[in-house]
Amino acid sequence: MSCHRLLGLVALDLALGVATLEQGQFWHITDHHFDPTYWSEMRSCNDKVPVRGIYGDYWCDSPWRLVNDSVAAMANVKRDVDFILWTGDNVAHIKNQFLNQSLNLEITEKITDALKAEFPGVPVYGIMGNHDWFPANQFPVQQAFLYNATAELWRDWIGDNQQIENFKKGGFYTIRTTKGLRIVGLNTVFYYAADKLTTNLTDPAGQFAWLEEVLQNATNVGEKVMLTAHVPPGIKVPGKVQWFYERFNTKFLDLVQKYADIIPGMYFGHDHADGLKLLLKKDGTPGIPMFIAPSVTPWRYKSGTESDDPHNPAVRLVKYDQKTGEALDFIQYYMNLTESNEANASSWKVAYDASKAYQVKDLSAASVSMAVKQMSKDKYVLDKYIRFNTVLANGNTTVNECDATCRAEYICSFTHHEGEKFNSCVTGLMKGVLIG
């Protein structure tokens, strides 16, 4: 394009008074949990599996075929994305006695290679999950083998030397896209109550201070910041689990809330279920949407007689504004595990399109706020969310089994991210239900 023509277009934009929307796309993938023993010792399986499906089983973590097939399915749908957010938990739910540092690294390396092969030239912004460390969950606040090795493995994607150094200190870093959007990868496993090395610390590896500095600098130069991390803050429902230590949950939420105007979205994994939340600003207006992507692994949590619902393997394609980082929409793809195993061939389909499902024009904080309000008052819309939560694996069973308390918990989890506030929200709604 000639210089004159370019200037002409800019002039036209200015004359019309419209900002040109530059729409891009990226994948958000998470929680692959590859189990190399799926065809042998089945170390991740949580229950008896008489016949193993070639793509996996709801009681087990992913065989390699499933991981590889998910990467191929992504490339089939859209290979030329701007980047890929990869929010960790590459290693299966296998007891520490059967794992070691090199095995964990090998698993991360295998998925890294698969992504590089299918997406040449596409940067992948990866973050380690609690299962990627050895021993699981115990992320230290100083240099260690797995930080160093993972930083080196992802050197091409992270790029900048200073950021490689940050990763080696604690698994966090920031990069700036060619369009000027800042992406921050955080290690929130430090705040996860299962990390016993951070129990008595106030700011593990200085990550909070670093994040505040990054956000302040971004404010000063007019950048928008997309945050990505493995463990999400807030309360996961069903189950009412707060993953973070109480004080870290509050500290994290307070810090990002202060910079809500420059944070268009936060992207997490770890829950395995599909989740949507909204952090409100101090004055109660919409602040930051939180997108929790469902996992690739279909593995069901089980402890004694308690277990989570089954869910299908999933990958998510996000449409976003390349300059502001605002999410415009996402398309949730999934594999019907039962069908694929029966057919001996994988079938990846669209589970839903977020803007259509929630009837909003985009996924800005204001639109997510409208979606959340709709779900809170319209049983039909909340039913959809509950089906999406298990990636359509449990049909209507989950919806039918969700009583008034269960519904109140879903509704309160959208905007109440601290234990006490969440509980009083549920109590309030239940009283309303009883009186009404």
Residue ranges binding Zn ion (CB under 5 A): 31, 89, 129-130, 270
Rounded to whole angstroms, the Cα distance separating 41 from 52 reads 12
Residue number, 108 or 322, with CB nearest to Zn ion: 108
Torsional sign, CA 392, 396, 399, 401: negative
What's the closest the beta carbon of residue 62 comes to Zn ion, in angstroms? Answer: 11
| Block residue for tokens 């997490």 | 268
408 vs 413: CA distance, rounded Å: 9
Q: Which helix (H) or strand (E) element contains residue 251?
A: helix 246-258
Cβ at position 89, least distance to Zn ion in Å: 3
In the complex, what is the shortest distance from the CB of residue 303 to Zn ion, in angstroms, rounded to a whole number? 15
Instruction: Give the residue with the Cβ less far from Zn ion, 310 or 325.
Output: 310
Q: Please, what is the minimum distance in Å from the beta carbon of residue 137 to Zn ion?
A: 9
Nearest distance from residue 91's CB to Zn ion, in Å?
A: 9
CB of 93 to Zn ion, least distance (A): 8
CB of 300 to Zn ion, least distance (A): 12
* CB nearer Zn ion, residue 107 or residue 214: 107
The least distance separating Zn ion from the CB of residue 387, rounded to whole angstroms, comes to 21
For the four alpha carbons of 413, 253, 333 and 346, in that order, the dihedral sign comes to negative
Q: According to DSSP H, which parts of 36-134 are helical?
A: 64-77, 101-118
- Whether residue 313 is preceded by a cis peptide bond, meaning omega within 30 degrees of 0, is no
Residue 339 neighbours by CB distance under 10 Å: 14
User: Nearest residue by C-beta to Zn ion?
Assistant: 89
In this structure, what token pair is assigned to residue 352? 């839903």
Q: Which is nearer to Zn ion, 44 or 177 (CB)?
A: 44
Pick the closer one to Zn ion by CB: 31 or 329.
Answer: 31
359 Rama sector, left if φ>0, alpha if ψ -120 to 50, beta otherwise: left
How crowded is residue 359: how many other Cβ atoms within 10 Å of its Cβ? 12
Q: Which is nearer to Zn ion, 69 or 89 (CB)?
A: 89
Per this entry, what is the length of the chain?
436
Q: How far apart are the first and last CA of the chain?
A: 65
Of residues 138 and 219, the one with the C-beta less far from Zn ion: 138
Q: Is 131 within 8 Å of 297 (Cβ atoms)? A: no
Beta-strand pair 173-176/182-186: antiparallel
Task: Closer to Zn ion by CB, 194 or 366: give it.
Answer: 194
